């Protein structure tokens, strides 16, 4: 098996310079000839155990861990689905309707749980963030194998009073469900960036088609990525 | 099954990026730095042996190299034993050659000629500084993994036999230790052994040399461990013991199994043991006097505006003049010791006292002014003479106090002197027992050795061999904080994942970068020159963080701290830590040639330090 020095250094969680010095000083049972290093894996493992050094040889389970990447806003919205004409006169009614309609939440039980959590959060403080928009979400992440990070976009049949900060009735809800708090915050910050954009708000008021809405969000998100770079 | 790891040519990359060689060696080590790639593939016997050896190596590369080190240790021991015997022969030849001229009035120029030629030889032909060799070996062991030049295998043998053979007051032991060590080092280099193995072989060389020159295997082993290697671990003791045996055996085969200083039987009783405490004070005084006299005369010689060989000649001439009146001070002086130990030195107390001072003076003139040789033999002479002086002094006050004869005190004096000069009591005890065969004196011998060491230590904190190293900050012993810190290099610790920002960037743009970064420190550079301009800590922007009006109006140039302490990539880590402690900071920017390289932080340092410590302290 062949490894670069950098890979050996990585499996020792050390700087390549240090590993090279260790080889030169004879502190590690690795032999260096010309530009090649030779070692017996068993000897190296024994050495690592004797010196209390962490050694994760490539191929072992620990090194296969893949860094989790946050899901983009666009995929979250695609996952959550876009729903039109939700009936209801009160926040509780529209929230129950939204929970029922969300396709990605499969089981009856889960839908009830979600509704309960959304109501809990709503009673604490309104999720109506102004300008006729609400972002209902559960306080604690819902951990279930069937639940991915998602945002359900719900256009309401008629504006509903959400006790929003600016007292304006809500005409659109983004129901945000995420399995981890980190994902939750990430999506929340992205959606609030979009909502600060005037033209996007204008577009929402026209109740756009699915394709138009998704295209607009994709555009906004790539702009955000570029800004951050 | 073996795994192969391709090693990118880091050294070349390093040199490219920093413009500096990867390993900075002082002049002594640089010339013999291992070539990184061999271009000569001709099938000489040497390459054949090497190829055969390379096939065996993988099994031996790990912790399982003990057998290999034993084999190599024996070879190195034999070689350095031969070197020791060779030096003995050439010294005798040289002495008998010069003896025929010793009766002329102008014979005082002989040591001058010898010292001058030896100095010229070292300076012009070999291009090595004078000095006795042991500190050089210790320095090489602690800093360069025992790397010594090939020419050191013979250079000191020739120069010291010129100095000593012509009458200079110095010893042949340190030169032969240097030769043996260089033999070990170069054999290790020949077979591309790693530094740990090379250090073991350097120790083998030193042990074989001492064992060979004194016919004293235990002294060889103990001296090497106590003085040269400084680490009592099996990995060193085993091959070094084998080398001691080999060196002593070679010496016995070539020049017979004889104890250097035979003596009459001693009847040691409690008065002798108690009286040895007094002698310890005398020898400690002589040690301090001799150490300071050598340094003083070296210091004085440095001020003489003359070429180095002229200075050596002047020192040699002065020794020759002393030698006209007291021929006992000339040369290594072993026959003087023999007389003392036998009790056949008949001159009175006053002459003995003068002889102590004369020998110290002659030694400091020889070594301090540029002659080549060691301090071992002169110490033995001074020790034996001071032992005799002490005995005669006590006898004059209280006749008939001792049941032993004066030879016993000459022997104890040697132990006191050696232990004081080297500050290595074990070496002194074993050496004296072995070279005199006087085990019956062991009780006072131990006592005088430890007391003399202790007294010397309180006046001269570093031994004669280490004093220069300590003063230059080069004294590193294995498994110490200083050694671990010296092994780590800033380039191994520097963190390069800092977001670098520009002076003209506005606050709003900067906050975007802060959002993305995982660090609290942001180096600021001048975008025109690329030079490091200052640092911004997250705390610096806290007051402006939520004031959106400032986002476009404030530039980083206005926020950054410019009077910041930086470190260079080649700075010593101990120095960096000292500066961190002084400023109370936990991390510092590394700036090389005005370019920002990265950050070095105490947190990373501790992590790496601990790993290094674990590696160096478990074996």
Output the pLDDT for position A47: 87
Chain B residues with CB under 8 Å of A7 CB are 5
A1 touches chain B (CB under 8 A): yes
Give yes or no: residues A56 and A87 share one domain.
Answer: no
Average confidence (pLDDT) over B378-397: 93
Residue in chain B closest to A228 (alpha carbons) equals: B512
A196 reaches B (C-beta below 8 A): no
Contacts of residue A227 in chain B, CB cutoff 8 Å?
512
Cα gap B503→B341, rounded to integer Å = 80
- Structural domain for A179, as ranges: 73-228
Query: In terms of domains, do A18 and A94 share one?
Result: no
Asked if A35 and B516 come within 8 Å (Cβ–Cβ), the reply is no
- Do A98 and A180 fall into the same domain? yes
Q: Are residues A45 and A78 part of one domain? A: no
What pLDDT sits at residue A41?
Answer: 84
pLDDT in tens, B194-225: 898 999 999 999 999 999 999 999 999 999 99
Minimal Cβ distance to B54: which of A26, A33, A227: A33
Of A42, A64, A86, the position where a domain reaches its end is A64
Same domain for A134 and A45, yes or no, is no
Whether residue B14 is predicted with pLDDT greater than 80 in this model: the reply is no
Report chain B residues whose CB lies below 8 A from the CB of A39: 2-3, 5, 58, 61-62
Tell me, yes or no, whether A60 and A78 share the same domain: no
Largest alpha-carbon pair distance within chain B? 102
Count the Cβ atoms, other than its own, within 10 Å of residue B535: 22
User: Are A79 and A99 found together in one domain?
Assistant: yes
Q: Does any CB of chain A come closer than 8 Å to the CB of residue B197?
A: yes
Examine domains B270-471 and B484-617 and report if their fold is the same: no
**Domain match, A94 and A127 both:** yes
Tell me, yes or no, whether A93 and A171 share the same domain: yes
Q: Alpha-carbon distance B566 to B560, whole Å? A: 15
Whether residues A93 and A201 fall in one domain: yes
Say whether both A16 and A36 belong to one domain.
yes
Q: Provide the residue ranges of all domains of chain B, joining segments of one domain with +.
A: 63-258, 270-471, 484-617
Query: Quick check: B359 and B378 in contact, CB under 8 A?
Result: yes
HSE-CB of B452 using CA atoms within 13 angstroms: 38
Q: Looking at domain B484-617, which CATH architecture does it have?
A: Roll (3.10)
Last residue of a domain, one of A15, A46, A64: A64
Locate B98 and state its tokens: 């010069």
When divided into structural domains, chain A yields a total of 2
**Interface A-B: count of C-beta contacts within 8 A:** 130
> What's the whole-number mean pLDDT along residues A124-140?
88
Handedness of CA B479, B480, B481, B485 (dihedral sign): negative
pLDDT at B26: 38
Query: Taking CB atoms and an 8 Å limit, are A38 and B194 in contact across chains?
Result: no
pLDDT digits (tens, 9 = 90+) for B294-349: 999 999 998 988 888 899 999 999 999 998 888 888 888 888 898 888 888 878 88
pLDDT tens-digit profile of A169-228? 999 999 998 888 888 888 888 888 888 888 899 998 898 988 999 999 899 888 888 876
The CATH number given to whatever domain includes residue A168 is 3.40.930.10
In chain A, whose CA is at the least distance from the CA of B56? Answer: A31
Name every residue whose Cβ is closer than 8 Å to that of residue B560 and which is 6 or more positions away in sequence. Answer: B503, B524, B533, B534, B535, B536, B540
User: And the tokens for B517?
Assistant: 């970064």
CA distances from B96 to A188, B155, B187, B317, B474 (A): 98, 22, 34, 20, 41
The predicted model scores a pTM of 0.77
pLDDT attached to residue B207:
97
Residues of B in contact with A53 (CB under 8 A): 611, 614-615
Residue in A closest to B618 by C-alpha = A51
Q: Do A39 and B1 touch (CB under 8 A)?
A: no
CATH topology of domain B63-258: Clc chloride channel (1.10.3080)
CATH 3.40.630.180 fits B270-471, yes or no: no
Are the beta carbons of B218 and B181 closer than 8 angstroms?
Answer: no
Separation of alpha carbons A158 and B562, rounded Å? 60
CB contacts, 8 Å: A31 with chain B: 57-58, 61, 194
Contacts of A35 in chain B (CB under 8 A): 6-9, 37
Q: Are residues A44 and A138 in the same domain?
A: no
Facing residues of A39 across strands?
B3
Residues written for chain A: 229
pLDDT at B523: 93
Put simply, whether A53 touches B (Cβ < 8 Å) is yes
pLDDT value at residue B39: 42
Nearest Cβ partner for B3 among A25, A35, A41: A41
């Amino acid at each position: 098996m062949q490894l670069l020095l950098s890979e050996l250094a990585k499996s020792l969680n050390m700087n390549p310079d240090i590993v090279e010095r260790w080889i030169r000083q004879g502190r590690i049972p690795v032999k260096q000839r010309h530009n090649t290093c030779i070692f017996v894996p068993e000897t190296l493992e024994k050495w690592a155990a004797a010196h209390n050094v962490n050694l994760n040889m490539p191929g072992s389970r620990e090194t296969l861990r893949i860094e989790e990447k946050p899901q983009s806003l666009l995929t979250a919205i695609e996952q959550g689905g876009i729903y039109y004409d939700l009936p209801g006169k009160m926040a509780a009614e529209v929230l129950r309707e939204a929970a029922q309609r969300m396709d990605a939440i499969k089981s009856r039980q889960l839908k009830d749980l979600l509704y309960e959590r959304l109501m809990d959060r709503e009673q604490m403080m309104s999720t109506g963030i102004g300008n006729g928009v609400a972002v209902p979400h559960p306080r604690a992440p819902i951990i279930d194998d069937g639940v991915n990070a998602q945002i359900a976009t719900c256009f309401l049949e008629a504006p509903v009073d959400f006790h929003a900060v600016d007292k304006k009735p809500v005409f659109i809800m983004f129901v945000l469900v995420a399995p981890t708090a980190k994902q939750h915050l990430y999506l929340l910050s992205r959606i609030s960036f979009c909502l600060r954009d005037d033209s996007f708000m204008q577009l929402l008021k026209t109740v756009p088609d699915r394709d138009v809405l998704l295209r607009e969000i994709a555009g906004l998100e790539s702009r955000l990525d570029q800004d951050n770079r | 099954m073996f795994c192969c790891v391709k090693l990118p040519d880091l050294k070349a990359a390093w040199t490219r990026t920093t413009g500096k060689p990867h390993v900075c060696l002082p002049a002594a080590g640089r010339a013999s730095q291992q070539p990184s790639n061999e271009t000569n593939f001709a099938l000489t016997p040497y390459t054949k042996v090497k190829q055969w050896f390379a096939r065996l190596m993988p099994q031996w590369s790990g912790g399982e190299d003990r057998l290999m080190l034993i084999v190599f240790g024996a070879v190195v021991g034999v070689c350095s034993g031969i070197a020791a015997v060779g030096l003995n022969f050439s010294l005798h030849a040289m002495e008998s050659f010069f003896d025929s001229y010793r009766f002329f009035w102008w014979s005082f120029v002989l040591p001058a000629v010898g010292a001058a030629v030896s100095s010229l030889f070292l300076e012009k032909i070999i291009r090595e500084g004078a000095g006795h060799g042991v500190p050089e070996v210790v320095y090489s062991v602690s800093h360069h993994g025992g790397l010594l030049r090939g020419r050191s295998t013979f250079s000191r043998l020739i120069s010291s036999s010129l100095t000593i053979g012509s009458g200079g007051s110095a010893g042949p032991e340190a030169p032969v230790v240097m030769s043996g060590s260089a033999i070990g080092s170069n054999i290790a280099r020949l077979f591309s052994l790693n530094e740990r193995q090379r250090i073991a072989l350097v120790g083998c060389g030193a042990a074989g040399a001492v064992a060979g020159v004194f016919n004293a295997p235990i002294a060889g082993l103990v001296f090497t461990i106590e003085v040269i290697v400084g680490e009592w671990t099996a990995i060193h003791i085993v091959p070094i013991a084998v080398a001691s045996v080999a060196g002593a055996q070679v010496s016995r085969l070539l020049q017979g199994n004889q104890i250097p200083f035979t003596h009459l039987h001693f009847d040691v009783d409690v008065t002798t043991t108690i009286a040895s405490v007094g002698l310890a004070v005398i020898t400690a005084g002589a040690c301090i006097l001799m150490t300071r006299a050598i340094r003083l005369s070296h210091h004085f010689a440095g001020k003489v505006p003359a070429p180095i060989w002229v200075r050596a000649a002047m020192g040699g001439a002065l020794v020759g003049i002393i030698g006209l009146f007291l021929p006992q001070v000339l040369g290594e002086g072993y026959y003087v010791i023999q007389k003392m130990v036998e009790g056949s030195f008949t001159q009175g107390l006053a002459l003995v006292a003068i002889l102590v001072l004369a020998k110290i003076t002659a030694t400091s003139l020889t070594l301090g002014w540029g002659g080549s040789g060691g301090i071992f033999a002169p110490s033995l002479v001074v020790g034996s003479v001071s032992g005799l002086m002490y005995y005669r002094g006590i006898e004059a006050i209280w006749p008939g106090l001792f049941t032993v004869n004066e030879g016993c005190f000459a022997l104890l004096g040697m132990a006191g002197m050696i232990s004081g000069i080297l500050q290595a009591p074990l070496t002194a005890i074993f050496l004296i027992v072995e070279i005199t065969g006087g085990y019956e004196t062991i009780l006072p011998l131990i006592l005088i050795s430890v007391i003399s060491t202790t007294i010397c230590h309180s006046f001269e904190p570093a031994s004669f061999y280490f004093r220069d190293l300590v003063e230059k900050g080069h004294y590193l012993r294995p498994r110490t904080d200083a050694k671990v810190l010296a092994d780590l290099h800033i380039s191994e610790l520097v963190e390069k994942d800092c977001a670098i920002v520009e002076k003209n960037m506005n606050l709003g743009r900067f906050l975007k970068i802060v959002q993305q970064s995982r660090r609290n420190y942001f180096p600021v550079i001048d975008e025109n020159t690329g030079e490091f301009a200052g640092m911004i800590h997250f705390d610096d922007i806290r007051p402006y963080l939520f004031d959106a009006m400032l986002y476009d109006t404030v530039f980083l140039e206005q926020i950054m701290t410019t009077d910041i302490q930086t470190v260079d990539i080649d700075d010593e880590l101990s120095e960096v830590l000292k500066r961190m402690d002084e400023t109370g900071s936990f991390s510092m920017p590394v700036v090389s040639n005005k370019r920002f390289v990265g950050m070095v932080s105490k947190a990373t340092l501790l992590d790496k330090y601990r790993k290094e410590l674990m590696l160096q302290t478990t074996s």
